[in-house]
């Protein structure tokens, strides 16, 4: 096959190349495409180097698949051009997720919605992917009525600029401690030049803000959890409310999920359903202090679930803690798994 990675020089694009190599695609023709400023750069891949080409040149090469991680604007501009050339696009941005005629896919759940005529397939938001995968078996068994979600999202979800900001803040603080001989507060406006992916410091801080604020007071990241969950689980009646927080973690996203079902559940059966869901690992033994954390999910493709317990405040309701690497299963791996399913059937 001929496979293009659009946005190959970005944070997720680099992970996509690594996952392609890990999952046995190294012998295929891989096209690394990016913005004009990156054209001509060399990117290591498997036992060779890839020369970055323009997106227009990648379209002209007519790849079988184009895996996008270049942002919504680039996807809207270029995905239809790839599709017109006969390429199947798997897009990691928000550009096509809400389109009724574009499949939004987590392959373990709903690869069946993709038809041979589909040329643009949307990859869900990272926080949505891990949650719906953890919940998919429970939904089939008990049917979800309502979800209350609080996310604790890694800065890598914002991109490399956010990673640089955290690194610069850490370095600034360390230098100030040495200079002052004691602990000093870290105020972003007191620092020197920095990347400033965020309005506030992220070092030793967190803020309840991911995406852009809407008129209703919710953010676009929170809205994605509402819209995408309903679309993937094929149930427009699920009530969803969410609060997104960005935390100073470089690794994975964590989520506290409160799930109310229409039907009563048995806690042991619920645990069995979670443990046997493909792609999910039940890691839940409080007596031995075993519960998922971002450090254990980093560079892993599984979704980890723990702290499984009844909500004692109301019936038919379950609490879960869900953790996954947002760059892998939350982005790169899920996209490549879609491609694998389309190739192998």
User: What are the tens digits of pLDDT across the range 87-102?
Assistant: 999 999 999 999 999 9
pLDDT on residue 193: 45
Q: Name the fold adopted by 128-158+204-326.
A: Dihydrodipicolinate Reductase; domain 2 (3.30.360)
- Is 254 a residue whose pLDDT tops 70? yes
- Is 23 a residue whose pLDDT tops 60? yes
pLDDT on residue 181: 66
For the segment 107-135, the average pLDDT, to the nearest whole number, is: 98
Low-confidence winner among 55-59, 99-103, 202-206, 224-228 (lowest mean pLDDT): 202-206
Burial class (CB in 10 A: 0-12, 13-18, 19+), 204: exposed
CATH of domain 2-123+331-344: 3.40.50.720
Low-confidence winner among 117-131, 157-171, 268-282 (lowest mean pLDDT): 157-171
For the segment 6-19, the average pLDDT, to the nearest whole number, is: 97
What stretch(es) of the chain map to CATH 3.30.360.10? 128-158+204-326
Distance of CA 50 to the CA centre of its chain: 25
pTM score, two decimals? 0.93
pLDDT on residue 257: 98
Query: How would residue 192 be classed by pLDDT, with cut points 50, 70 and 90?
Result: very low
pLDDT on residue 172: 83
What stretch(es) of the chain map to CATH 3.40.50.720? 2-123+331-344
pLDDT on residue 195: 53
Percent of the chain with pLDDT over 90: 87
Q: Which of 139, 173, 194, 253 is catalytic?
A: 253
pLDDT on residue 279: 98
**Residue 254, CB half-sphere, CA atoms under 13 Å: how many?**
19
Q: Which of 126, 139, 173, 194 is catalytic?
A: 126
What is the signed CA dihedral for 94, 92, 65, 161, rounded to 10 degrees? 120
- Is 190 a residue whose pLDDT tops 50? no
Give catalytic status of residue 253 as yes or no.
yes
For the segment 257-286, the average pLDDT, to the nearest whole number, is: 98
Q: What is the 3-state secondary structure (H, E, C) of the chain?
A: CEEEEECCCCHHHHHHHHHHHHCCCCCCEEEEEECHHHCCCEEEECCEEEECEEHHHHHHCCCCEEEECCCHHHHHHHHHHHHHCCCEEEECCCCCCCCCCCCECCHHHHHHHCCCCCCEEECCCHHHHHHHHHHHHHHHHHCEEEEEEEEEECHHHCCHHHHHHHHHHHHHHHHHHHHHCCCCCCCHHHCCCCCCCCCCCCCCCCECCCCCECCCCCEHHHHHHHHHHHHHHCCCCCEEEEEEEECCCCCCEEEEEEEEECCCCCHHHHHHHHHCCCCEEECCEHHHCECCCHHHHCCCCCEEEEEEEECCCCCCEEEEEEEECCCHHHHHHHHHHHHHHHHHC
For the segment 331-345, the average pLDDT, to the nearest whole number, is: 96
């Amino acid at each position: 096959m001929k496979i293009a990675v659009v946005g190959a020089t970005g944070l997720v694009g680099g992970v996509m190349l690594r996952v392609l190599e890990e999952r046995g695609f190294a012998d295929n023709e891989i096209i690394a495409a990016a913005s004009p400023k990156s054209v001509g750069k060399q990117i290591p891949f498997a036992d060779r180097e890839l020369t970055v080409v323009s997106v227009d040149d990648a379209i002209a090469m007519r790849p079988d698949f184009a895996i996008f991680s270049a942002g919504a604007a680039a996807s809207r501009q270029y995905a239809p051009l790839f599709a017109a050339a006969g390429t199947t696009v798997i897009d990691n941005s928000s550009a096509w997720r809400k389109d009724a005629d574009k499949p939004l896919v987590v392959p373990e759940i709903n690869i069946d919605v993709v038809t041979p005529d589909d040329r643009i397939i949307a990859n869900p938001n990272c926080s949505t992917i891990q949650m719906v995968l953890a919940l998919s078996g429970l939904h089939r068994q008990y049917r979800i009525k309502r979800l209350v979600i609080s996310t604790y999202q890694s800065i890598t979800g914002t991109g490399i600029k956010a990673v640089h900001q955290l690194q610069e803040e850490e370095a600034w603080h360390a230098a100030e401690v040495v200079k002052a001989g004691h602990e000093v507060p870290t105020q972003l406006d007191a620092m020197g030049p920095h990347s400033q992916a965020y309005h506030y410091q992220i070092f030793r801080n967190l803020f309840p803000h991911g995406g852009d604020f809407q008129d209703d007071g919710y953010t676009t990241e929170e809205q994605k959890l509402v819209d995408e969950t309903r679309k993937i689980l094929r149930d427009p009646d699920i009530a969803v409310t969410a609060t997104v927080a960005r935390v100073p973690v470089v690794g994975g996203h964590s989520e506290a999920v409160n799930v109310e079902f229409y039907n009563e559940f048995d806690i042991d059966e619920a645990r069995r359903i979670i443990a046997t869901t493909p792609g999910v690992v039940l890691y839940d033994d409080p007596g031995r202090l075993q519960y998922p954390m971002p450090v254990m999910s980093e560079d892993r493709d599984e979704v980890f679930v723990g702290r499984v317990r009844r909500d004692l405040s109301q019936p038919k309701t379950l609490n879960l803690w869900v953790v996954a690497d947002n760059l892998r299963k939350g982005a790169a791996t899920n996209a490549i798994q879609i491609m694998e399913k389309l190739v192998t059937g």
